[in-house]
Amino acid sequence: MGTSVCLLTLTAFIAFSSQFLAASGRVRQASYSNRDGVLSNAAHFSSDNERVHGSDEIPIPVYKMIEYINRLNTTWKAGHNSGYDNPEDVIPLLGVRPENSRYRLPERTLDVSALRVLPENFDAREHWPDCPTIREIRDQGSCGSCWAFGAVEAISDRTCIHSPEGKPRVIAHLAADDVLSCCTECGAGCNGGFPGSAWSYWVHKGIVTGGNYDSDEGCMPYPIKACDHHVNGTLGPCDKTIPPTPRCVRMCRKGYDVDFMDDKHYGRHAYSVPAKAKQIQAEIMMNGPVEADFTVYEDFLHYKSGVYQRHTDSALGGHAIRLLGWGVENGVPYWLAANSWNTEWGDKGFFKILRGSDECGIESDIVAGLPKY
């Protein structure tokens, strides 16, 4: 891909991220009006010659952002996730397209009686310990495929959770590449897509199995290499440009002895969950993890621990993740979420985000479904 094409692609991605924010209506007033305001308010904490822990690798704006967040003594801790200090580098990973609301699935409301028994804390990893996919953190690489990852991760979990009674658990690591490459109604591949359409694809076309990049697991392993998102790690840095969407090949990898169509796993229903915390909790507790999307703000890139809530209004775009539980930490209610930026980001790939107030739109667009057996 030539330099001019790469720049055009990134420019288009930044443009649709801005469209996403306007279309979603998720931008709300914060304490400071923009990134420069945040940093200028943090400037009195340090001089431009200082570095975090004496390091010479942390850019001053990032250092000031981290120090500002931590001096607030808020509900979460920030830290340096090196490698993507420039927010524009993360925009291509935020793959929920701005017109996503037009592809929202019909809602399914659970019986009110189910809402009366919600515990204070719930973690799907502990509730279904014999379903290993719930504990996994995947890596979308440099592709804006979060919409596909959030879907296949939650679908893999539910395929196990709803295994036929009296039979061994169905452990299926479903392939993000099947959805990313072969779902023509799902959006624009690595340039973003629609979570609801990914779940509809599961119902109507099915999804084959597939492990991580460069693995021999399943029919269709993920073809885009893992990389270090925002950290100095062992995988190597992510590409600065969006890779081309892999070509759809309706054939299992060489050496896999199951036919492509025979490897398909299907859904029975796909639906949206009402944007109410108790409905989302009941859905997770009764049926398993769900896919959610939210607006990523610049300070989220520096998340390390605690319950995230934004303290800057430098919005970058829409990002899809998997919700797998909830709880209360130091009196603060949260959702437990799994990201797709590998285990070196955040809290070993997981994060917590404020629950009950639709923080960054996290409760506005929840997608789920049930497997077909």
Q: What gap in Å lies between CA 82 and CA 117, rounded to an integer?
A: 43
Instruction: Count CB atoms within 10 A of the CB of residue 182.
Output: 20
Backbone angles phi, psi at 89, to 5 degrees: -70, -25
Please say if 339 is a catalytic residue: yes
How far, in whole angstroms, is CA 301 from its chain's centroid? 13
Please say if 311 is a catalytic residue: no
The DSSP line for 199-267 is HHHHHHT-B-B--STT---SSS---S---BSSS--SS-BPPSSPPPPPPP--SPPTT--S-TGGG-B-E
* Residue among 317, 273, 294 at smallest CA distance from 20: 317
Backbone angles phi, psi at 36, to 5 degrees: -60, -35
How far, in whole angstroms, is CA 176 from its chain's centroid? 13
Q: What gap in Å lies between CA 178 and CA 264, rounded to an integer?
A: 10
The catalytic residue among 230, 339, 342, 360 is 339
Please say if 146 is a catalytic residue: yes
The catalytic residue among 229, 319, 342, 360 is 319
The catalytic residue among 131, 146, 227, 238 is 146
Element (H, E) at 179: helix 176-182
Strands 303-308 and 350-354: parallel
Q: What gap in Å lies between CA 62 and CA 80, rounded to an integer?
A: 8
Contact 283, 58 (CB under 8 A): no
Q: What gap in Å lies between CA 18 and CA 2, rounded to an integer?
A: 25
User: Which residues are part of the catalytic machinery?
Assistant: 146, 319, 339
